[in-house]
Structure 1
């Protein structure tokens, strides 16, 4: 998601069906510091797909707020920066940016594409990598579908080093991997433990120090879900197989390495997933919980037990719920996506989680934020324990062996050089007690953002750190299963906590968002500053961290700019006063006949603004008449004389009030008798320029008609002279005078329209 000049959102034609945003990422991340937040919604862009025409519109805002900026598809097209890349083969699943090589890798069915990261419309390089004919035939004989199962669906894309890409595909239920640039089937290696058999199973991978960490379903039937480390010089290591206390039907979401201390020996790898929770199963049946698990990077398994298995594996529940007034929590238990926002302090990142409900009754999504110290605290807490299958899970109250299970081997803790030197009781305890009692609660104890009762779910999440004059802000970009892209900003509660760090944004002039679905990739800009309006106050009220008032227009904010830009994001201070401008109210005059309907419209550019209508003091109140006050105006179904008056549309946003529109409504009746004809009042309401033009047209028609009458008079006089010479002078003479008199009277008449 990024931009060159003003912001644009880029979409492309899709086939006639719902689009699911499978992957979403952007280029140009800055650094972050731990903050406290409150939510403020900026704007949301919704895409509706109808045949080959893509309609882009702004949709209602999350929560009780509303969108700020509404963009139509035509406006995006006119911006001239709509970039898209369709993939005829379909089933796009993986996107991988290579910022050093300025390339974008796209994994799909039987193909690996490579296109420019700066302009995806450039012709991509294609590598055809199908499954072998024998494997396709075996897949079909196993009862799988030729189109949706028996092909090579690329599911793993990782940068192996600066010159090679490591890719894995399902290979028609026979996963294969390769790291060579020219992918030929005979040059590949087995992908077991690296890539799933089933293309419909979700996979989470990360290449860390030349080793592949993968959360996958590792067997043909997708029963064995495992977290596995492979490649590199060390032996393959994985979670305990077919042990439901470790993993039970896990669906992996994200893998990341995080440092907890200055000691590199204590570095760990975290994996986020959703699984069936044994501790919650009962009469209600299966229950899903979101989890976070971790292992030590230097874990090589045990000596006599847990051989080639993780000996430091631990997991804890991640909670994202809404506290109810009666103490009952509304939980969002299915994890959809994770984004880790790192700052200068690498050990204290913020973790953004995107969750959905698992209930068929309540359909909703939520975003929760977690601090690293809260996660570490959960893993330092007590363990859960169960005596047997017929017993409930309870807190473990016995003695915990030393070194504490989950501790990484290092000189700091007992001088153990590897996990193989751990005592047997430590390895046994790690095997039987992987679950922690304490849960990881979100920052503030509640979700940052909630969306319920809508026909879509939030599925993908990205966060961009933006540097502003008054601090740093995180902007969320959220994808949905129906093709929406949501844009949300966080404002910190306590501005004194902000430590302004001047970051160098490498791609500040080319900030793009890349979104992929099964049919293709789009390149979207992060902001549309020029669409917020031409006034300083409108730009300030937009509160878009990407935009600033430069003295002439609303333009993208650049840290390198040496001008004194006005950029108001937080709630302190009045943007109208900061801009040095006052918003002038638009004045209108409307005329309506008695008994007819009319509509008083007020359309603020900012949909954050609250609209309130007033009449001048002394006028009758709105409630006394049959008026319908709707979201953006007043509807008068049947006008009456007492409806006339001056109406004021007042806007309020973030505590600031101003009058946007003043409407003078005149109600007249054709039967109403006044001192002067009613049409004079109507003519007085016509615009002066239009009235003058109307009078000129009437004068021109009058002149043309008078000229025509004069010509007819000359012809009549000639005929009268001829009749006189023929003896009928007196009769024709009288007739001629009568005709001339009628013509003169007719010529002096004014048109009815005058």
Structure 2
């Protein structure tokens, strides 16, 4: 049938055909919340995204800003870098500024010895690994010192650091690791430093040690193997009478699995003074237990990466939050989990039964004999008896496990660090907020709702290069989070309320830091909880209720009236591209035309944008609708007007402000784009049409060719000797030999079953 009989010119027919091909070849739109197991960040910011204002501090010649310490007044951030210690002023709204810096390099002799011991030139420096506040006038710092750990006291005057003198440098073995790649932890409690690190050059002797203060120096017994040689410490958290150490090691009590990693929590008493005859200068209260973070029916998350304490009014009600990964890759990807542990549960486990090693069978079993009084390993006042100390040598492992409650489980990501805080929302209820650093340099902000399950408010890619987050320090008085990296310090504001431009978007974000100010008509940082006119719904995230004017119930139907209409001029024989910004990764998007579905004959949705071919009756209102949390709202609204005959204004849209905009517009006949950026759609359409034509032609040729004629022109090539002058194929592949019992009329077969090459008649 001719094209004029269809009432279409060739350009219009080509456009319709291209749209149908696009509709068939376009992938299905992603569903809301897709992207693997676990919650999806609602908003994502790439590195350098201007919508998320970040500040960065760096200094030429300095690297490895890994150790962070916040001053008591919260106005100064002390940073331990490679061979230097810095004091940063963080009071200003912008980037941190340098107050002063003191160098603390390793001596040339130590660097020469480090190189002589075959260590890399990148590690033969002094990496600051311990930085704590000793008192109002001094800091205490320890570093690797070119694989010869050293510590020193640093005097502070008016937040200014005084230089390190050589006569104040002490040996730091047992307080700082030798290798900067080894993990360590340290905490200062009552003037005493509790540290967990590697105690030898090879990195095979883990140790828990107490130094400084008036109490005697104590450490774990290496000969008794209280710690596995590969133990890796991640956090030290003090409590009322004890100090808890969180670490990961290879389990020795499971003989059915080789090299099974296990997360642990160890405990030592603050008033421990060591033994008089047995366990001299050793811990007499060292106990450890297994930490279990798992979902029912799933493999456990058995590798702990970091832990943090969230204090409460009652110490027993305090919670410890820890991030875990798994040594197994399920589905080819890593996964992470955040679990909450109660201090009460941890204390109850250390009050329970012990495990003991049966030396005949080399298996760990539950100890069921009677115990002495006072209980071995307890924080009782006074020295323990020799019988109790003998018991403690072999009964340092607890029988029960400390089971945590999973708050967040996510696949495809490895969490390395976390910081936690509680934020009081507009309703007066506290909400748990977690900041999670990943192994690829991104930061997740998670909020735990009332049902003890977390959702991700946002994801920020901090580093352009994929490097892990090594340290997080939360500064509540400054309203910011500081992130240590290899090149500098990032200052991340805790919230980004200004990115939510409407009340609907502000309420759907469910960020406890943000609320909608109806007077200023903007989403602002919640500074006080007594703003009755502000809008926020942390429990349900229902904009239909929170953003309504006057008293209204939660069953109100959502309104789709746009806030502003963008007027677009359509040109005949052209492709009109109407973009739709995806404000939320949790929403599903669809296009409507005059409150109905868009016509498929003249439109295609690709990557969220609507490609429209102007025809008769396709003008009017086009809206990109988003549906999130059961609420539908227009993201963007376009009024498509015809160039030849403008449409009459819809009375229902009266009073809504309008603005004339120019969108990507491409002529199908090959003309230049009309006042729009260059689009890739013409190239895509041309390639698609040419590919369809070529495939259709090939299919027609194959179907129209007589199979018999092709067989008649073919020849059966022999498998025997090649004609003179020809060479054997390089592949040396053997030809398939026909069966000797099969008869053929195509030619003669010799005794070796070789075809003689007779032509088929």
Give the TM-score, by structure 1 length. Answer: 0.69
Task: Choose the corresponding residue for 1:466, options 388, 404, 423.
Answer: 423
Counterpart contact for 2:90–2:97, Cα < 8 Å = no
Inter-CA distance 689–348: structure 2 relative to 1 (3 Å threshold): closer
CA distance in 1, matches of 2:638, 2:425: 38
1:451 aligns with 2:429: no
Equivalent in the alignment of 2:395: 433
Residue 684 of structure 1: CA displacement?
Answer: 8.2
Aligned to 1:524: 492
**In structure 2, do the counterparts of structure 1 residues 388 and 536 end up closer, same or farther at CA, with 3 Å as the change threshold?**
same
Deviation at 1:649? 3.9
Partner of 1:20: none
Specify the alignment match of 1:632 in structure 2. 608
Tell whether 2:538 aligns with 1:538. no
**What does 1:457-606 align with in structure 2 at a 5 Å threshold?**
457-470=414-427, 471-493=429-451, 510-533=478-501, 535-550=502-517, 551-552=519-520, 553-559=522-528, 564-571=533-540, 574-580=543-549, 584-585=561-562, 587=565, 599=577, 601-603=579-581, 605-606=583-584
Distance 1:478 1:679, change over 3 A: closer
Deviation sequence 1:606-655 (CA, Å, 0-9, x none): 443332445668x7787x7697656635557x888798887654333323
TM-superposition CA deviations, 1:235-278 (whole Å, max 9, x none): 2111111433444421101111112xxxxxxx111000011111
Relative to its length, the structure with more helix (as a share) is 1
Partner of 1:297: 270
CA distance in 2, matches of 1:449, 1:163: 41
Task: Write out per-residue CA displacement over residues 166-201 of structure 1, whole angstroms, 9 at most, x where no aligned residue.
Answer: 011222222111114231223211112211222221
CA distance in 1, matches of 2:408, 2:602: 39
Other structure's SS at 2:403 match: coil
Pick from 123, 126, 131 the counterpart of residue 149 of structure 1: 123
Q: In 2, distance between residues paired with 1:202 and 1:87?
A: 26
Task: Work out the CA distance in 2 between the residues paired with 1:349 and 1:204.
Answer: 21
Q: CA, structure 1 residues 620+134, in 2 after alignment: closer, same or farther (shift >3 Å)?
A: closer
Residues 184 and 658 (structure 1 numbering): CA distance in 2 closer, same or farther, change over 3 Å?
same
> In 2 relative to 1, CA 207–608 (structure 1 residues): closer, same or farther, beyond 3 Å?
same
Q: Which whole-Å deviations, capped at 9, do the CAs of 1:77-107 have from their partners, x for residues lacking one?
A: 8x6x734233522122211111337322111
- Rounded to whole Å, the distance in 2 between the matches of 1:154 and 1:315 is 28
SS in 2 for 1:322: coil
Q: CA deviation at 1:569?
A: 1.5
Counterpart position of 1:108: 81
User: Which residue of 282, 293, 310 maps to 1:320?
Assistant: 293
- Gaps of at least 5 residues in structure 1 are 1-43, 45-58, 260-266, 410-416, 496-505, 667-677, 692-754
1:659-713 CA deviation, whole Å, 9 max, x = no partner?
A: 44556779xxxxxxxxxxx97337989x99999xxxxxxxxxxxxxxxxxxxxxx
Alignment of 1:264-303 (within 5 A): 267-282=241-256, 284-303=257-276
Change (3 A) 1:493 1:117: same
- CA 357–689 in structure 1, closer or farther in 2 if over 3 Å, else same: closer
- 572 and 640 in structure 1: CA distance in 2 versus 1, 3 angstrom threshold: closer
Structure 2 CA distance for aligned equivalents of residues 166 and 575 of structure 1: 55
Contact 1:536 1:579 in 2 (8 A): no
Give SS of 1:135's match. helix
Question: What is the alpha-carbon distance in structure 2 between the residues aligned to residue 225 and residue 584 of structure 1?
Answer: 65
CA contact (8 A) 1:61 1:67 kept: no
Output aligned runs, 1:191-270, within 5 Å.
Answer: 191-259=172-240, 267-270=241-244
Structure 2 residue 587 is matched with structure 1 residue 609 = yes
Decide whether aligned partners of structure 1 residues 109 and 621 sit closer, same or farther in structure 2, where only a CA change above 3 A counts: closer
Matches within 5 A, 1:16-95: 63-68=38-43, 73=48, 75=50, 82-86=55-59, 88-95=61-68
Q: Is the 8 A contact 1:76 1:82 kept in 2?
A: no
Moved more, 475-484 or 594-603: 594-603
Q: Work out whether residues 405 and 429 of structure 1, in 8 Å CA contact, stay in contact via their aligned partners in 2.
A: yes
Summarize the Cα distance change of 1:306–1:663 in structure 2 as closer, same or farther, 3 Å threshold.
same
SS of alignment partner, residue 681 of structure 1: coil
1:387 aligned onto 2:368: no
Taking a change above 3 Å as real, the CA distance of residues 322 and 525 of structure 1, as seen in their structure-2 partners, is same
The answer as to whether partners of 1:111 and 1:127 remain within 8 angstroms in 2 is yes
Inter-CA distance 566–61: structure 2 relative to 1 (3 Å threshold): farther
2:470 corresponds in structure 1 to none
**In structure 1, C-alpha distance between the alignment counterparts of 2:491 and 2:635, rounded to whole Å:** 36
Conservation of the 8 A alpha-carbon contact between 1:173 and 1:198: yes
What SS does structure 2 have at the residue aligned with 1:393? strand
Q: Residue in 2 aligned with 1:357?
A: 326
Matched residue SS, 1:137: helix
Tell me how far apart the structure 1 counterparts of residues 254 and 475 of structure 2 sit (CA, whole Å).
47
Q: Specify whether residues 608 and 86 from structure 1 end up closer, same or farther in structure 2 by C-alpha distance, changes over 3 A only.
A: farther
Instruction: Measure the CA separation in 2 of the matches of 1:70 and 1:130.
Output: 38
1:358 aligned counterpart, secondary structure: coil
1:405 aligned onto 2:351: no
| Cα distance in 1 for residues equivalent to 2:616 and 2:401 | 67
Any idea what the Cα deviations from partners look like across 1:325-371, whole Å, max 9, x if unmatched?
Answer: xx3x2222221111111122222211111112223544122211222
Contact 1:583 1:660 in 2 (8 A): no
Residue in 2 aligned with 1:96?
69
> In the alignment, what sits opposite 2:652?
none
Contact preservation (8 Å) 1:537, 1:583: no
In structure 2, the residue corresponding to 1:436 is in which secondary structure?
Answer: strand
Change (3 A) 1:476 1:594: same
Report the Cα distance in structure 2 between the residues aligned to 1:136 and 1:690, rounded to whole angstroms: 68
Superposed displacement of residue 544, structure 1: 1.5
Report Cα offsets for 1:523-574 as digits up to 9, x if no partner.
22111222211x3333323222112223323221122756643332221765
Say which SS state the counterpart of residue 425 (structure 1) adopts.
Answer: helix
